[in-house]
Amino acid sequence: MSVDQVRPSANGSAAPSVRPPAGRPAKSRTRHSRRAGRWWTPWLFLAPALILFLYFKFIPMANAITMSFQDVQPYLGNKWVGTDNYATVLTSDGFREAAWHTIVLAVGQTTGCLVLGLALALLMEGQSRRLGVIRSAAFLPVVVPIAVVAELWRIMYHPTGDGMINSLLGLVGSGPSGFINDPHTSMASIMVTGIWRGAPYDMMIFLAGLGSVDRGLYEAAKVDGASRLQRVRYVTIPGLRSVFSILFILAAIRGLRVFTEVFLLTNGGPDGSTEVVMTLIYKLGLEQNRLGVGAAGAVLLFLATLVLTVCVHLFRRRGNE
Amino acid sequence: MSAPTETALGLTESRSIGGRVAKAVTYALVLVVFAGPLLALLVGAFNHVKDPTQLSLIPSGATLDNFRTAFDQGVLKYLLNSFFVVGFGLLLQVAVSVLAGYALARKKFRGMTVVMVAILATLMLPEEILAIPLSLILADLPVVHFNLIGTLAGMIVPLGAWAFSILVMTEFMKDVPRELEEAARIDGAGDLRIFAQIILPMCKPALGVIGVFGFTMIWDQYLLPLLVATNSSSYTLPLALRTLRIDPSVTPGVVMAASLLALLPSVVVFLFFQRSFVQGLTSGALKG
């Protein structure tokens, strides 16, 4: 129905045009119900979402917490073991090492993505169509499925001198490197792959942020005789502060929960040199069936992301005051 | 240069030959680093690549053999599985999100804040953390006791709970003018009618954002299908890549052909709906 059709009945009080619809009692025409409908109407609209969130977010989260205090034995019944699982996790060398690897990877990837993403954004800011095409091309790694990224880089990282990246390294007289097959370089290799996929994402967000930096300040800086680098250092980067903190949180959380690329590139090897928390949890929980211990690890990982997010928010609020 | 197009680095200002060359070299380098590997994948998929050392950017004797072998290995079935999951998963996700968004944006009711906060909180809850309990729940859904492990439905149903889409819809629906709704209500239209005929048609931009974003998200999914799939008949294409690679009889060329098929849908969707995609990206980032 169009608005024009409705308007006359809204203005005029002519009774025939506002007759109640069939089957509905006249009471429902009161002002209250016309505005708000019945009390359960919103819940009806929300029902599918609430059921799905309950089943696939809230119950799993509650289960993760209870399982972390239990010795989980499917079909046999769970046994309450207090904080034993947490003790097992926190005292095991494997978990500590995995936590360390995760932090190294998260810090490295986050820094790499932020720095490279900012550099790309600064280089490719502009309105020309040619730049737009280059930006889209540089953004492609973000939309490529992570499984494809991993398989592609596995091939490029081929450890002999004829491998794609090794032959490039050969041109500048270095290598061949074992990359993901060598415990000394495996972590850095995963990091590079992660940065390759993550930096263009940060670039896009930075570009959006660059658009909102006050142009007048650039003019003013120019008038004051500031060089290009000074302009970036004193005008652009301060203007991007909120973008930095958002990207930092996103990248750090992405880094802590890293799973697929490690699972596919090295699966924690060689010699456990790239074992991260999630690959360890996957092995404990789903391959060795030590579900309680795996759940405890997952809860700890969740707490880490929570603490990190809260810290950054507090830090931001203080910075803004 | 006029003020509005001024950029931070002011690269467009450089008119000297040296500056132009430096600019061209930089852009070429960016393209080689970020698009080069994907180009190598494209070339490799159509080349006879017998081992990984033969990966190159130069095509030599294009062939469809890799795709033929890939289809013999069941890649077509995996691709269809992927499309099935993304199709129904996206349908469910969008339907759930627009319904919830309508209630949260256009209604005032007791408990609304609690619902909103609960949904928002799941934005900070990575699915990786829920992996273990989620796999147990999918094996035996509470109350109804269905076992979804090993079925494509097990990969689809959890996709319905996606806070980002609900958030985008809620924010957008809030801005639809009240007058339209009031007028329809006076004419006797119920909530379902107002939702379907007035609010929803005005939300096309937001639908574009959650559609495009949901598509790439679902297509990229790895852990959930990994938890659910028990044998190759329920593999999605991304999952199957690993199995193909491990199989010693499959050459890297075939893996690359399958990889190309796995990346094409999301790249095509991105290129066609770039505007919606970037919109969703920035709004998602600025809200998350």
Q: Provide the CATH number for the domain around residue B127.
A: 1.10.3720.10
DSSP state of B195: I
A187 part of a folded domain = yes
- The answer to whether the predicted template modeling score (pTM) of the entire model surpasses 0.95 is no
What's the confidence (pLDDT) of residue A59?
A: 93
Please, which pLDDT band fits residue B76 given cuts at 50, 70 and 90? Answer: very high
Please tell me if residue A310 touches chain B, with a CB cutoff of 8 Å. Answer: no
The answer on B217 and B197 residing in a single domain is yes
- B166 with B243, same domain: the answer is yes
Q: What is the residue type of B99? A: L
- Best of B2, B5, B7, B202 to disrupt the A interface by mutation (most A CBs within 10 Å)? B7
- Residue B1: its pLDDT value, please? 39
The reply to whether A1 falls in a domain is no
Q: CA nearest B214: which of B166, B146, B254?
A: B166
Judged by CB atoms closer than 8 Å, whether chains meet at A53 and B9 is answered as: no
Does position B90 have pLDDT exceeding 80, yes or no?
yes
Sequence-ordered list of residues with C-beta below 8 angstroms from that of B109, at least 6 positions apart, any chain: A36, A39, A42, A43, B103
**Tokens coding A135:** 């930006």
State how many domains chain B has: 2
Give the residue ranges of chain A where pLDDT is below 50: 1-34
Question: Is residue B54 very low, low, confident or very high in pLDDT (cuts 50, 70, 90)?
Answer: low
Residue A14 lies in a domain: no
Instruction: Note whether B58 contacts A: Cβ–Cβ < 8 A.
Output: no
| B282 confidence band (pLDDT: 50, 70, 90) | confident
Taking each continuous run of H as one helix and of E as one strand, the counts in chain B are: 14, 0
**A23: nearest CA in chain B?**
B188
Average pLDDT of B127-155?
88
Could you tell me the CA-to-CA distances from B117 to B104, B113, B281, B285 in Å, in that order? Answer: 11, 6, 22, 18
Is A259 inside a domain boundary? yes
With respect to residue A38, please indicate whether it lies within any of the assigned structural domains: no
CATH number at residue A94: 1.10.3720.10
> Which domain, by its residues, includes A229?
85-320
Residue B117 has pLDDT above 80, yes or no: yes
Indicate if B47 and B75 belong to the same structural domain: no
- Provide the token pair at A304: 């880490």
Instruction: Out of B56, B100, B259, name the one closest to residue A148 (CB).
Output: B259
Res. B62: pLDDT tops 90: no
Domain membership of residue A314 (yes or no) is: yes
- The band of B285, judged by pLDDT with boundaries at 50, 70 and 90, is low
Helix, strand or coil, per DSSP, at residue A178: coil
B143 and B282 in a single domain? The answer is yes
Query: Which helix or strand (DSSP H or E) is residue A86 part of?
Result: helix A84-91
Beta pairing class for A70-71 and A79-80? antiparallel
Q: A293 contacts in B (CB within 8 Å)?
A: none
Taking the C-alpha atoms of residue B241 and residue A261, their distance in angstroms, rounded to an integer, is 13
Nearest to A256 by CA among A141, A110, A150: A110
- Contact indicator for A265, A190 with CB cutoff of 8 Å: yes
Contact A125/B188, CB-based, under 8 Å? no
User: What pLDDT score was predicted for residue A26?
Assistant: 44
Q: Are residues B182 and B221 in the same domain?
A: yes
Residues in B closer than 8 angstroms to A3, CB to CB, are 179-180, 183
Alpha-carbon dihedral sign for residues B257, B259, B262, B268: negative
A137/B130 Cβ within 8 A? no
How would you class A224 by CB atoms within 10 Å of its CB: exposed for 0-12, middle for 13-18, buried for 19 or more? exposed
pLDDT value at B88 more than 90: yes
Question: How many Å lie between the alpha carbon of B203 and the closest alpha carbon of chain A?
Answer: 17
Which of the residue ranges A214-223, A277-286, B48-57, B66-75 would you say has the lowest mean pLDDT?
B48-57
Tell me, yes or no, whether A101 lies in a domain: yes
If you measure CA to CA, which chain A residue comes closest to B45?
Answer: A152
C-alpha to C-alpha distances, A246 to A25, A115, A214, B45, B217, nearest whole angstrom: 52, 14, 20, 38, 20
Average pLDDT over residues B58-86: 87
> Could you tell me the residue range of the domain that residue B227 belongs to?
70-287
The pLDDT of residue A15 is 37
pLDDT at B275: 81
Is-cis flag, bond preceding A176, omega within 30? yes
Residue B116 binned pLDDT confidence (cut-offs 50, 70, 90): very high
Number of domains composing chain A: 1
One domain, residues B144 and B229: yes
Distances (CA, A) of B127 to A57, A97, A188, A278, B114: 8, 23, 26, 11, 22
Q: Does one domain contain both B42 and B184?
A: no
The overall average pLDDT reported for chain B is 86
Q: Per the domain annotation, does A46 fall within a domain?
A: no
- Domain's final residue, options B21, B45, B63: B63
Instruction: Judge if B114 and B182 occupy the same domain.
Output: yes
Q: Report the pLDDT value the prediction gives residue A139, as an integer from 0 to 100.
A: 92
Q: Does A81 touch chain B (CB under 8 A)?
A: no
